[in-house]
């Protein structure tokens, strides 16, 4: 220290200063000098030389402690600090050697797959510094073809859900005590050893449907170890009709693998081809949408269905009939087709035409005739599909018709259903519940699922669980079932675990973890092998199953996301002679049903599915495509039926079936079959978490549990329901789009505008006038400007085109946008008053009579106007025009005057009325949250996008972060950006490929071609805002015979 | 009853029969009494209570976010901006009375100009609060000011909100200077009559050495005239610029050329409504009936009829143009205003602004202080609704029906609206207590005794004599 203090630093540099470094010893006057002080060697000058710095810093306080004193104090403080406490130890391993292929701060995509109802969809997961932040479809996967659904998009939120179970729990009666995996192992080791010695007597396993070959293998080993045990599979949303139907038609269980690429006439019988509950929904979306170009040969879709489904909105002809009437319709179709198609002897004669009242209606009869004609003229190029909730007979008829029309091998092929023996059966669940009730079960092992919640109302499975001496539930959440079991063990998320899964056509995908299990959970495979005492790593189990001993082959499979050549071989089953179907009076009856005889149908939600995603706020806030309902389920009812029964739209009603009833809001749905009520499953969770509802912490359930009304006989559709107005004071439904009751004037205004906003024509009209969109335009003067645009867009000129002909409203893009752009969730109350934050919304327009309404969807992101009204009115320049034509938001600059939103004719701007990320990011940047679970929650944020604070405006940016990344990459590589490199999040996930984004300056780009297409139009073009987002008008392809 | 209230409660007895002295006494004593009457204390306590609600609601908004108001999408502007335009409108009468009527030699204005000006300033202050607190980040309104800064950020001058900043702040500045300058001779009177050191000191400082010399009077009158000339265009410009916030946007129902004159007419209408509303109690409680006479109320009520007709004409014209333009969005907006979801607010506006003021065609009504007061109140309610109708009906139903909405105010909305009256009345009561409520010097200039004539030349004084100023 002292030497340091004494040392004189060469402040001015050079030899002269060094020369002056020892002035005290030298009395000689310097020869070269710079000041008189130096020359005369004045004491002040010497003092100056003593100092470390030439002059004291101007703002150094006079009383500032000297360095020595400061260091003394410092040392003493540190010493004292060490007396009472010590630093928490935290081992940090710096990446002094960067692992190969890892660049911090960049994203990488890895292939993985997600399983739902035993069917896998291949996905790409985007990882940022080791954490998954985004999901997209894997184009190599036959079930995805590049698309992903809203559920896939939101699944990434589930990884970081703070309500996920983080440890095993032990329960004894009403008391729960936190345990650990060690604690569980200490229990399970001896327990299962004992069971093994008893050959598994009294052991019952209940699992979800699984399409995982490794799971099958593990299961086999488990059953070999515990031969007396019984394994039951239960899946609440899937039906058994398809399998039973194939048995009925072919004598053996088969899966129908559909391929709509060449299907020109498509008939859906209560089958929503685009809903997540339909196994091939993503692939079918793409294939069907690709045949919607009016310039090629368009397909024609006929939908006969009780509810208004996504495919129904897409259909050219739609008939709303009750679920139970589909059978008669199918039989009539079979009778007519068979009569005209002259089936060969081995196919045999079809059904007798049923004498149904509703079939005699002129409209139905006409549709049936036209449909039959259409099918017969397009043999081998048509496709009939029955929904999973339809009974076996309908599936059998569909198989027969597809065979008869020569579609097999073209639009449909069959593969043997290998998983057939493990198929769920509500009867099996019922048997299990009975066994439990009769104390026949010693140990109940529940692998995933939530049977205490999802069991139908007449199977009191939740109560029965307690009768087992030991019950173990492996689950992501400490849910309704877990809380009734003696053990809950925490599962790993699919993005945390190794696994594999088969697609509907049998193609195997390797499920690759993106992150180590955050809470040390175990996947089902891992858990079962753990119970078997097998220490093998899950990844090795997967390798063993597929004999991927060659590391290269394994890496290939993991990289591609699909195991080449693993698709099941096509089977050619022979059609058995069809058996005549008998009908009940109801099935043949007319439209009208008395209250008390109504039909009630149940189906999984397009968002929260069977309830398993109830705690994912993105899905809860996603407007349901047709009803635009968020944060709730409702009794969906046809307006005519509702009016007859005095049920008011939005008011509470009580639905009663078989003595059980639920009270929930009613919602009128135009086009819904008369006499039929639809209840969406998956709501009313009591132990979902802080989002979906948690009775323990008094978080109210979202929606109402409709499983209570479901019975094992009226599983998909129950009869004898009644509906009555209720005075219950339920919170108002939170819907977007038409979120407030619209009066007569409003309706008239809407009527007047809709044809201009969503421009539609029939194919014939399009052929006659491809520029039909122009005829729908509001008359306006020439769109000139007073001044020359200050921006010439010489570099890039980004634009987007959205094909209304392809959009089926599935809303995957909305959630994709939310995931990509860190869009906050605002909750039910704020949605109710119009404060939802979704940057991309899908407008839905009904047309025509309420009984037979047509639907058109129109996704609305920011239109990125060239002459943007928002930019001109911002007083602080927080929304600016880029030289590439983007309307950019500068969040730091925004003070929230909201003038931009007022002036936006499309109302695409969203405002942060509160700090919606308060729990995650803290009140200010200087007071971050310390809650570890909230820190985990914040890991889902996309680091490329600012997390907005309270009081600022935000809106779609065309995924500017993706544009910038692509530009940086292109610049580094010194290349231009080829068309298709930049894909916005909405475009990336769109199963229908309806959204095209690119550079309008690139004349060969897809978007430039789309903008030049005759069908292209801009919204509110007459305002001369010159939007960059344009739409391609919708062209419907109705059967000319049906006029 | 009338006889009692004729007497200034602050003054023990009229001093002498000198008219000038009586005016001075009547006005000065209000500020000179040691203890104002209990009514003042009660009123002041109420005003402070309401002010604390205002401050409390603002505090809550700043702490939690403006979402505690009912403001939503698509009604991104709602109560706060309605209140802003309402108060700015109120703030029009004062300067109009002081400047335009001064230039037109409307000498009756002297009775009311001082407190009308005070009202203007306080109303502008109330208005000024809202743009600051209505923004999403209320700690950053200075981003709108052209302050040189190290971030090199500059306001965006194409935005009408930016024009607002300048229009309103200019107006506020001129109004304050005008008001203050007018008070200088009266401050000097207060100073001269002061009996305590502090009074003498305070009024002495603000009187700026006024001695009442003819040179000072000369300078004063020149300056007053110039300021009046400067302020006159501002009366028209402020509300025109405020109307640009709406008129220059694309929104149907806002995007109309009629807005500037229509807003100015409305503002004068509303401002006068507020003046009569304040004048009636003021003359009652402060014993100013001899100064603010019935004929003054009558003149103001006539102005109200005229402006009410102007406003009514504008309403009519908006409808006509909406139909005549052939623009379906425009037409829809107006039909929707009258018959849609907010029809109640539209008809409240029409009845308050167009129908009730027509009662003033009857002399018995327009010379009745109580009727004047009630109609004044209706006008204020009506003018508030006018802004509500313009802002909320247009915003909630614009182009795309999918984005339509409905604005429902919350409790906090009402607290902020109601609370702003607390700020206004607190300031106004302090003004009544400490400042010359009536422009004594100016009143005296037009008092008959200022124009003494020879007894054989009795000139009937019309109040039009170009004397003095």
Residue A103 near residue A484 (C-beta atoms within 8 A):
no
* Pairing between β-strand A717-725 and β-strand A598-603 as defined by DSSP bridges: antiparallel
Residue A66 pLDDT exceeds 80: no
Q: Are residues A843 and A935 in the same domain?
A: yes
Mean pLDDT over B125-130 rounds to 92
Q: Would A277 be classed as within a structural domain?
A: yes
Judged by average pLDDT, the poorest of A143-152, A365-374, A738-747 is A738-747
Residue A12 pLDDT exceeds 60: no
Residue A286 pLDDT exceeds 90: yes
For residue A693, what is the domain's CATH number?
A: 2.40.40.20
The CA-based dihedral angle spanning residues A233, A236, A241, A246, taken in that order and rounded to the nearest 10 degrees: -40
Residue A105 pLDDT exceeds 90: no
Q: For residue A327, what are its two tokens?
A: 């059978």
Residue B287 pLDDT exceeds 50: yes
Closest Cβ opposite residue B332 in set A749, A905, A906: A749
DSSP state of A609: B
Q: Would A112 be classed as within a structural domain?
A: no
Q: Report the b/e string of A439-472 with b at 16+ CB within 10 A.
A: eebbbbbbbbbbbbbbbbbbbebbebbebbebbb
Residue A207 near residue A419 (C-beta atoms within 8 A):
no
Residue A622 pLDDT exceeds 90: yes
Span A871-929, pLDDT tens digits? 999 999 999 999 999 999 999 999 999 999 999 999 999 999 999 988 887 777 677 77
Q: Nearest CA of chain A to the CA of B159: how many Å?
A: 4
Question: How far, in Å, CA of B53 to CA of A7, rounded?
Answer: 67
Q: Which residues of A touch B401 (CB under 8 A)?
A: 738, 742, 746, 749-750, 753-754
Residue A310 pLDDT exceeds 90: yes
The DSSP element (H or E) to which B394 belongs, if any, is: helix B394-396
How far is CA A731 from its chain centroid? 26
How far is CA A792 from its chain centroid? 39
Residue B438 near residue B86 (C-beta atoms within 8 A):
no
Q: Are residues A888 and A937 in the same domain?
A: yes
Q: Which residues of B touch A626 (CB under 8 A)?
A: none
Residue A181 pLDDT exceeds 50: yes
Residue A911 near residue A898 (C-beta atoms within 8 A):
yes
DSSP state of A343: -
Residue A705 pLDDT exceeds 70: yes
Q: For residue B175, what are its two tokens?
A: 């109004």
At residue A920, the 3 state secondary structure works out as helix
Q: Are residues A277 and A363 in the same domain?
A: yes
Mean pLDDT over B80-109 rounds to 84
* pLDDT class of A474 with cuts at 50, 70, 90: very high
Question: How far, in Å, CA of A864 to CA of A908, rounded?
Answer: 10
What pLDDT is stored for residue B468 in this prediction?
A: 32
Q: For residue B265, what are its two tokens?
A: 């007419």
A777 reaches B (C-beta below 8 A): no
Contact assignment for B158 to A907 by CB distance below 8 Å: no
Q: Are residues A191 and A252 in the same domain?
A: no
Q: Which residues of A touch B399 (CB under 8 A)?
A: 753, 905-907, 1020
Residue A524 pLDDT exceeds 70: yes
Question: How far, in Å, CA of A766 to CA of A903, rounded?
Answer: 34
Mean pLDDT over A391-419 rounds to 88
Helix orientation angle between B411-434 and B113-134, rounded to the nearest 10 degrees: 150
A901 reaches B (C-beta below 8 A): yes
What pLDDT is stored for residue A54 in this prediction?
A: 52
Residue A302 pLDDT exceeds 90: yes
The alpha-helical segments, DSSP class H, found in A904-959 are 918-921, 932-937
Contact assignment for B77 to A898 by CB distance below 8 Å: yes
Span B205-223, pLDDT tens digits? 999 989 989 999 999 989 9
Question: How far, in Å, CA of A505 to CA of A502, rounded?
Answer: 8
Q: For residue A76, what are its two tokens?
A: 């003493």
Span B377-391, pLDDT tens digits? 999 999 999 999 999
At residue A612, the 3 state secondary structure works out as coil
DSSP state of A610: T
Contact assignment for B144 to A875 by CB distance below 8 Å: yes
Q: Are residues A875 and A1012 in the same domain?
A: yes
User: CB-based burial of residue A1014 (10 Å sphere; 0-12 exposed, 13-18 middle, 19+ buried)?
Assistant: middle
* pLDDT class of A86 with cuts at 50, 70, 90: very low
Contact assignment for A746 to B401 by CB distance below 8 Å: yes
Count CB-CB contacts under 10 A for residue B254. Answer: 21
Higher pLDDT, A565 or B288: A565
Indicate the number of domains in chain A: 5
How far is CA A890 from its chain centroid? 29
Q: Are residues A750 and A643 in the same domain?
A: no
Mean pLDDT over A931-937 rounds to 85
Q: Which residues of A touch B75 (CB under 8 A)?
A: 834
What pLDDT is stored for residue A51 in this prediction?
A: 60
Residue A101 pLDDT exceeds 80: no
What pLDDT is stored for residue A717 in this prediction?
A: 85
Q: Are residues A49 and A62 in the same domain?
A: yes
Residue by residue, DSSP assigns B288-320 as: -TTTS-HHHHHHHHHHHHHHHHHHHHHHHHHHH
Residue A160 pLDDT exceeds 60: yes
Q: Which residues of B touch A835 (CB under 8 A)?
A: 67, 72-73
Residue whose entry in the numeric block shows the structure tokens 């422009």: B439
**Of A73, A95, A121, which residue sits at a domain end?**
A73
Contact assignment for A877 to B340 by CB distance below 8 Å: no
Q: Are residues A956 and A850 in the same domain?
A: yes
Residue whose entry in the numeric block shows the structure tokens 């095209």: A996
Q: Are residues A1003 and A868 in the same domain?
A: yes
Q: Are residues A946 and A1021 in the same domain?
A: yes
Residue whose entry in the numeric block shows the structure tokens 């500017």: A960
Question: How far, in Å, CA of A571 to CA of A897, rounded?
Answer: 65
Mean pLDDT over A955-970 rounds to 93
Judged by average pLDDT, the poorest of A79-83, A418-422, B322-326 is A79-83
A473 reaches B (C-beta below 8 A): no
Q: Are residues A620 and A689 in the same domain?
A: yes
Mean pLDDT over A352-357 rounds to 83
At residue A412, the 3 state secondary structure works out as strand
Q: Which residues of B touch A910 (CB under 8 A)?
A: 73
Judged by average pLDDT, the poorest of A927-936, B53-62, B389-398 is A927-936
Question: How far, in Å, CA of A787 to CA of B158, rounded?
Answer: 15
Mean pLDDT over B290-303 rounds to 86
Residue A317 near residue A302 (C-beta atoms within 8 A):
yes
What pLDDT is stored for residue B4 in this prediction?
A: 37
For residue A464, what is the domain's CATH number?
A: 3.40.50.740
Residue whose entry in the numeric block shows the structure tokens 């940047």: A925
Q: Would A558 be classed as within a structural domain?
A: no
Residue A575 near residue A652 (C-beta atoms within 8 A):
no
Residue whose entry in the numeric block shows the structure tokens 């009603």: A653
Residue A281 near residue A274 (C-beta atoms within 8 A):
yes
Question: How far, in Å, CA of A284 to CA of A867, rounded?
Answer: 39
Question: How far, in Å, CA of A556 to CA of A564, rounded?
Answer: 9
Q: Which residues of A touch B397 (CB under 8 A)?
A: 746, 749
Q: Are residues A542 and A606 in the same domain?
A: no
Structural domain span for residue A339: 241-420
Helix orientation angle between B343-350 and B369-388, rounded to the nearest 10 degrees: 150
Residue whose entry in the numeric block shows the structure tokens 């196919």: A347
Question: How far, in Å, CA of A268 to CA of A488, rounded?
Answer: 42
Contact assignment for B400 to A843 by CB distance below 8 Å: yes
For A266-330, the three-class secondary structure string (H helix, E strand, C coil) is: EEEECCCCCCCCCCCHHHHHHHHHHCCCCCCCCCEEEEEECCCCHHHHHCCEEEECCHHHHHHHH
* Pairing between β-strand A470-475 and β-strand A487-490 as defined by DSSP bridges: parallel
Residue B369 pLDDT exceeds 80: yes
Closest to B69 measured CA to CA, from B123, B124, B136, B142: B136
Closest to A810 measured CA to CA, from A443, A380, A277, A402: A277
Q: What is the gyration radius of the CA atoms in chain B, in angstroms?
A: 23
* pLDDT class of A13 with cuts at 50, 70, 90: very low
Residue A159 near residue A618 (C-beta atoms within 8 A):
no
Q: Would A512 be classed as within a structural domain?
A: no
Mean pLDDT over A102-115 rounds to 87
Question: How far, in Å, CA of A869 to CA of A955, rounded?
Answer: 14
What pLDDT is stored for residue A35 in this prediction?
A: 66
Span A834-867, pLDDT tens digits? 899 999 999 998 888 888 888 999 999 999 999 9
A781 reaches B (C-beta below 8 A): no
- ipTM for the predicted complex comes to 0.90
Q: Nearest CA of chain A to the CA of B97: how many Å?
A: 32
Residue B259 near residue B246 (C-beta atoms within 8 A):
yes
Q: What is the gyration radius of the CA atoms in chain A, in angstroms?
A: 34
Contact assignment for B404 to A738 by CB distance below 8 Å: yes
DSSP state of A482: G
**Which candidate in A779, A844, A890, A913 is best for mutational testing of the B interface (most B CBs within 10 A)?**
A913
Judged by average pLDDT, the poorest of A679-688, A884-893, A925-934 is A925-934
* pLDDT class of A7 with cuts at 50, 70, 90: very low
The alpha-helical segments, DSSP class H, found in A546-613 are 551-560, 585-588
Q: Would A1001 be classed as within a structural domain?
A: yes
Residue A11 pLDDT exceeds 50: no
Mean pLDDT over A489-517 rounds to 91
Q: Would A736 be classed as within a structural domain?
A: no
Residue A357 near residue A589 (C-beta atoms within 8 A):
yes
How many interchain CB pairs under 8 A, A with B? 177
Closest to A638 measured CA to CA, from A741, A740, A723, A749: A723
Residue A822 near residue A942 (C-beta atoms within 8 A):
yes
Residue A599 near residue A718 (C-beta atoms within 8 A):
yes
* pLDDT class of B235 with cuts at 50, 70, 90: confident
Residue A395 pLDDT exceeds 70: yes
Closest Cβ opposite residue B335 in set A745, A874, A952: A745
For residue A805, what is the domain's CATH number?
A: 3.30.70.20
Q: Nearest CA of chain B to the CA of A811: how many Å?
A: 16
Contact assignment for B403 to A907 by CB distance below 8 Å: yes
Residue A111 near residue A137 (C-beta atoms within 8 A):
no
A485: Cβ contacts below 8 Å, ≥ 6 apart: A171, A444, A446, A465, A471, A472, A473
Q: Would A67 be classed as within a structural domain?
A: yes
Pick left, alpha or beta for residue B253 (phi over 0 → left; psi -120 to 50 → alpha; otherwise beta).
left
Residue whose entry in the numeric block shows the structure tokens 């991309």: A840
Closest Cβ opposite residue A896 in set B135, B250, B341: B135
Beta strands in A360-504 (DSSP E): 382-386, 412-416, 443-447, 470-475, 487-490, 499-502
């Amino acid at each position: 220290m002292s030497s340091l203090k004494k040392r004189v630093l060469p402040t001015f540099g050079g030899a002269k200063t060094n020369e002056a470094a020892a002035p005290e010893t030298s009395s000689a006057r310097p020869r070269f000098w710079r000041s008189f002080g130096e020359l005369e060697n004045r004491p002040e000058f010497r003092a100056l030389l003593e100092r470390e710095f030439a002059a004291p810093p101007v703002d150094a306080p006079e009383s500032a402690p000297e360095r020595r004193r400061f260091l003394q104090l410092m040392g003493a403080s540190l010493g004292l600090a060490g007396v009472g406490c010590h630093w928490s130890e935290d081992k940090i391993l710096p990446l002094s050697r960067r692992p190969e292929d890892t660049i911090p701060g960049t994203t990488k995509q890895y292939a993985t797959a997600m399983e739902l109802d035993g069917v896998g969809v291949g996905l790409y997961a985007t990882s940022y510094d080791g954490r998954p932040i985004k999901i997209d479809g894997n184009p190599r996967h036959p079930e995805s073809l590049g698309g992903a659904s809203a559920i896939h998009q939101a699944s990434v939120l589930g990884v970081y859900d703070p309500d996920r179970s983080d440890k095993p729990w032990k329960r004894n009666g009403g008391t729960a005590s936190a345990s650990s995996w060690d604690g569980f192992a200490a229990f399970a080791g001896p327990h299962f050893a004992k069971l093994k010695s008893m050959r598994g007597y009294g052991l019952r396993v209940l699992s979800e449907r699984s399409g995982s070959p490794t799971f099958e293998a593990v299961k086999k080993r488990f059953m070999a170890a515990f031969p007396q045990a019984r394994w039951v599979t239960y899946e609440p949303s899937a039906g058994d009709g398809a399998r039973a139907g194939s048995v009925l038609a072919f004598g053996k269980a088969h899966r129908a693998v559909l391929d709509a690429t060449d299907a020109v006439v498509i008939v859906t019988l209560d089958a929503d081809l685009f809903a997540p509950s339909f196994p091939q929904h993503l692939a079918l979306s793409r294939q069907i949408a690709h045949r919607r170009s009016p310039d090629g040969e368009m397909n024609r879709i006929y939908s006969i269905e009780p509810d208004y489904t996504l495919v129904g909105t897409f259909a050219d002809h739609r008939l709303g009939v009750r679920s139970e009437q589909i059978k008669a319709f199918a039989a009539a179709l079979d009778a007519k087709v068979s009569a005209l198609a002259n089936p060969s002897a081995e196919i045999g004669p079809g059904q007798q035409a049923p004498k149904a009242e509703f079939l005699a209606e002129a409209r139905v009869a006409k549709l049936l005739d036209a449909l039959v004609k259409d099918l017969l003229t397009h043999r081998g190029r048509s496709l009939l599909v029955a929904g999973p909730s339809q009974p076996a007979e309908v599936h059998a008829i569909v198989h027969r018709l597809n065979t008869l029309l020569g579609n097999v091998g073209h639009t449909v092929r069959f593969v043997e259903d290998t998983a057939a023996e493990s198929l769920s059966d509500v009867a099996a669940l019922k048997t299990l519940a009975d066994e439990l009730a009769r104390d026949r079960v010693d140990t109940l092992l529940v692998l995933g699922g939530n049977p205490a919640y999802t069991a139908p109302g007449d199977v009191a499975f939740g109560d029965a669980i307690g009768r087992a001496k030991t019950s173990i539930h492996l689950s992501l959440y400490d849910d309704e079932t877990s809380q009734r079991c003696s053990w809950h063990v925490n599962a790993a998320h699919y993005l945390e675990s190794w696994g594999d899964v088969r697609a509907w056509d049998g193609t195997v995908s390797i499920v690759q973890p993106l992150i180590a299990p955050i809470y040390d959970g175990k996947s089902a495979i891992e858990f079962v092998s753990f119970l078997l005492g097998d220490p093998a790593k899950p990844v090795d189990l997967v390798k063993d199953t597929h004999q991927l001993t060659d590391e290269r082959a394994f890496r290939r499979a993991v990289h591609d996301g699909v195991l080449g050549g693993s698709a099941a071989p096509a089977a050619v089953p022979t059609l058995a002679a069809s058996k005549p179907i008998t009908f009940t009076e109801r099935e043949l009856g007319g439209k009208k049903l008395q209250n008390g005889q109504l039909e009630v149908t149940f189906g999984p939600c397009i968002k929260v599915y069977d309830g398993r995603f109830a705690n994912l706020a993105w899905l809860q806030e996603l407007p349901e495509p047709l009803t635009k309902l968020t944060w709730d389920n409702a009794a969906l009812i046809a307006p005519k039926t509702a009016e007859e029964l005095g049920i008011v739209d939005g008011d509470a009603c009580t639905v009663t079936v078989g003595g059980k009833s639920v009270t929930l809001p009613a919602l009128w749905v135009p086009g819904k079959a008369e006499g039929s009520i639809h209840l969406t499953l998956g709501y009313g969770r009591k132990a979902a978490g802080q989002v979906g509802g948690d009775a323990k912490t008094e978080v109210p359930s979202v929606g109402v549990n409709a499983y209570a009304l479901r019975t094992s006989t009226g599983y998909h559709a129950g009869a004898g329901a009644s509906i009555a107005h209720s005075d219950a004071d339920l919170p108002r439904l939170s819907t977007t789009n038409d979120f407030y009751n619209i009066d007569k004037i409003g309706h008239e205004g809407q009527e007047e505008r809709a044809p201009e906003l969503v421009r539609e024509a029939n194919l014939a009209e399009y052929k006659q006038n491809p520029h039909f969109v122009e005829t729908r335009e509001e008359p306006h003067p020439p769109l000139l400007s007073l001044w020359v645009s200050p921006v010439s867009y010489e570099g890039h000129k980004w634009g987007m085109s959205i094909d209304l002909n392809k959009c089926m409203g599935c809303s995957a893009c909305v959630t994709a946008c939310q995931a990509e752009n860190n869009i906050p969730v605002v909750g039910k109350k704020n949605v109710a008053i119009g404060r939802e934050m979704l940057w991309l919304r899908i407008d839905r327009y009904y047309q025509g009579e309420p009984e037979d309404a047509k639907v058109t969807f129109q996704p609305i992101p920011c239109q990125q106007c060239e002459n943007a009204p928002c930019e001109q009115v911002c007083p602080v320049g927080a929304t600016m025009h880029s030289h590439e034509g983007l309307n950019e938001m500068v969040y730091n600059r925004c003070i929230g005057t909201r003038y931009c939103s007022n002036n936006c004719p499309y109302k695409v701007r969203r405002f942060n009325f509160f700090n919606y990320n308060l729990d995650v990011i803290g009140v200010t940047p200087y007071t971050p949250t310390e809650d570890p679970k909230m820190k985990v929650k914040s890991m889902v944020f996309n680091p490329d996008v600012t997390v907005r604070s309270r009081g600022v405006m935000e809106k779609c940016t065309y995924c500017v972060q993706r544009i910038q990344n692509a530009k940086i990459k292109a610049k580094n590589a010194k290349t231009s950006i080829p068309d298709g490199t930049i894909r916005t999040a909405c475009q990336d996930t769109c199963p229908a490929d309806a959204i095209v984004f690119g550079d309008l300056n690139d004349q060969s780009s897809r978007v430039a071609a789309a903008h030049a297409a005759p069908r292209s139009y801009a919204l509110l073009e007459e305002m001369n805002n010159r939007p960059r987002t344009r739409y391609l008008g919708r062209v419907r392809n109705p059967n000319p015979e049906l006029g | 009853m009338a006889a009692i209230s004729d007497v200034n409660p602050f003054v023990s007895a009229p001093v002498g029969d000198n008219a000038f002295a009586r005016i001075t006494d009547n006005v000065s004593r209000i500020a000179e009494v040691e203890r104002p009457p209990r009514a003042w204390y009660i009123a002041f306590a109420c005003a402070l209570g309401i002010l604390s609600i205002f401050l409390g609601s603002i505090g809550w908004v700043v702490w939690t976010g403006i979402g505690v108001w009912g403001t939503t999408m698509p009604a991104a502007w709602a109560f706060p901006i309605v209140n802003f335009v309402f108060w700015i409108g109120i703030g029009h009468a004062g300067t109009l009375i002081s400047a335009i009527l001064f230039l037109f030699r409307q000498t009756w204005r002297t009775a009311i100009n001082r407190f009308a000006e005070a009202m203007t300033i306080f109303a502008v202050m109330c208005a000024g609060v809202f743009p600051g607190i209505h923004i999403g980040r209320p700690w950053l309104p200075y981003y709108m000011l052209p302050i040189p800064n190290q971030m090199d950020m500059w306001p965006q001058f194409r935005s009408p909100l930016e024009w607002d900043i300048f229009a309103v702040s200019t107006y506020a500045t001129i109004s304050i200077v005008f008001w203050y300058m007018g008070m200088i001779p009266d401050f000097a009177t207060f100073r001269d009559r002061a009996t305590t050191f502090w009074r003498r000191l305070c009024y002495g400082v603000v009187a700026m050495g006024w001695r009442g010399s003819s040179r000072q009077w000369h300078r004063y009158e020149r300056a007053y005239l110039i300021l009046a000339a400067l302020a006159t265009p501002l009366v028209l410009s402020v509300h025109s610029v405020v109307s640009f916030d709406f008129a220059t946007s694309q929104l149907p129902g806002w995007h109309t050329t009629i807005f500037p004159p229509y807003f100015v007419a409305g503002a004068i209408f509303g401002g006068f409504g507020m003046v009569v509303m304040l004048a009636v109690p003021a003359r009652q409680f402060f014993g100013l009936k001899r100064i603010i006479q019935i004929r003054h109320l009558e003149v103001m009520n006539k102005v109200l009829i005229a402006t009410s007709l102007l406003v009514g004409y504008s309403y009519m014209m908006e409808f006509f143009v909406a139909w005549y333009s052939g623009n379906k969005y425009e037409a829809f907006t107006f039909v929707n205003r009258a018959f849609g979801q907010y029809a109640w607010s539209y008809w409240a506006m029409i009845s308050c602004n167009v129908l009730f003021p027509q009662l003033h065609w009857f002399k018995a009504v327009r010379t009745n202080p109580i009727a004047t007061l009630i109609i004044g109140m209706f006008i204020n309610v009506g003018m508030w609704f006018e802004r509500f109708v313009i802002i909320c009906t247009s915003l909630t139903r614009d182009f795309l029906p999918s984005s339509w909405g409905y604005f429902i105010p919350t409790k906090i909305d009402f607290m902020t609206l109601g609370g702003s009256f607390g700020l206004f009345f607190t300031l106004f009561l302090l003004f009544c207590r400490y400042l010359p409520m009536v422009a004594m010097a100016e009143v005296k200039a037009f008092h008959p005794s200022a124009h003494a004539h020879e007894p054989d030349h009795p000139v009937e004084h019309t109040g039009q004599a170009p004397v003095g100023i």
